[in-house]
Structure 1
């Protein structure tokens, strides 16, 4: 396995200001950024066993001071900013440091962290990693591996900031304290589909988060012969927010097919199958 090369922006003890952080387009898109997924032919029909490496030493993470209100943990996966690497951004107010231990955990997934940086804005510290697959030197193109990356980061966040456990859906799986209240899936789930030119549609899904959700969403879409061209996946506390560009035979989805997709996803999200999940 190639050695992990890491470059941390900014001098010791200082943070550079974030750049390029702004609202994007329509309100429905919010802070989301595109995330390229694997071509449908490369998607496996079910989730394979994924080992989530755990952190081994908290020394590289700054101590989270007690505050009246704990910040909402956020994990953003960005496949658009860099043509050669997957960008992962982690935010937990001002409580996260350089996350060297998380980089080591990602390496155990067969990934290289080729660059890391920390920047600061009004929403807190943004820890960004540029990640490539060790075997190819390219960005991640497998939804199952992207989900493993997401769960690895969330697991390590909970290990060193246990106060975030009760604010994350994955706290029930990885953390010492599960969320006090479970999100009502029927209320939390919002599905919208828009035309986005003659060759694709935009699918926006917001729902209660759970392990394996990214893989399961892609599979549910592909199971009705709709192609996932690109997309993005954000984790914000108890919720997951996904955006996918989809098409049917190279064309935008008809109104009838949009309704089929919306109904299919809503049924799937209300009744998630967990017996085959290995997360």
Structure 2
């Protein structure tokens, strides 16, 4: 598919700040939005590349030039986010690892092996950072993923593929050691890294936010702890930022938000279990 070279210049009110929008796959100036769609097919047929540049020169530096300013041994921070709120019909899994991401088709195939359908995906490059989003639904129902066990498998599948194609990322991931690759040089103090908060989120549910040292099976373990004190989990998502896991869960008790006493019980239970280094974890 040929792409015509076009350019639009829109001047803003501020002096020396105009934005140029280019559509040319050969012009690799810094911000690229690359979208593809896959409506129940294995081959991609639609591609769109949009390149944004700033005429003031601040953002008009190619990624090669940016790399040259960095230490050759620099390893960017890997980030894997499971987003349940942005799309009502699909679970969004987002992966970021500098500009080193590759083998995306293999990641999609691995997700399909879990009984999932990747209906759409986007790749966005801004400066030296590339982000990939997968819009995921269950293959059997066509609905977004709600099961915490499956959400954790999605997360670990993406991280496993990241480690496979970019083993240097293991230096920044707790999974490097867990998956038998190079363990990160930096180790977290679980007691210091663990933070738990419960906030109001309407009359019928509360928002539970957990930040702690990452490990395999973490989301499933957390939900089991919550269930043991008879609190219901309505939705859950988990983000991985290097060695840290950040979980966000909507919880309720008998159809209502948690009161202050029950919130404190929940926080105390989670803090106790998450800070135990001998806590057993599931193997995936």
If the length of structure 2 is used for normalisation, what is the TM-score?
A: 0.74
1:240 aligns to 2:245 (yes or no)? yes
Aligned residue-pair number: 229
CA contact (8 A) 1:191 1:204 kept: yes
1:159 aligns to 2:164 (yes or no)? yes
* Residue in structure 2 matched with residue 140 of structure 1 by the alignment: 145
1:84 aligns to 2:84 (yes or no)? no
C-alpha displacement of 1:235: 0.5
Q: 2:134 aligns with which of 119, 129, 132?
A: 129
Q: Within 5 A, what are the aligned runs for 1:95-244?
A: 95-97=100-102, 99-122=104-127, 124-244=129-249
CA contact (8 A) 2:190 2:213 kept: yes
Deviation sequence 1:181-217 (CA, Å, 0-9, x none): 3211101000111222222222111000000001111
Over aligned residues, Cα RMSD in angstroms?
Answer: 2.4
For 2:270 and 2:145, the matched residues in 1 are separated by 25
CA contact (8 A) 1:7 1:115 kept: no
Pick 1 or 2: higher relative contact order, CA cutoff 8 A, min separation 6: 1
Deviation sequence 1:226-251 (CA, Å, 0-9, x none): 11122321000000001112111122
- From the CA coordinates, give the structure whose radius of gyration is larger: 2
If the length of structure 1 is used for normalisation, what is the TM-score?
A: 0.75
Q: Which runs of 5+ in 2 are unaligned?
A: 1-38, 53-69
List structure 1 runs of 4+ shifted beyond 6 angstroms.
none
C-alpha displacement of 1:82: 2.3
* Residue in structure 2 matched with residue 255 of structure 1 by the alignment: 260
Higher share in strand: 2
C-alpha displacement of 1:85: 1.8
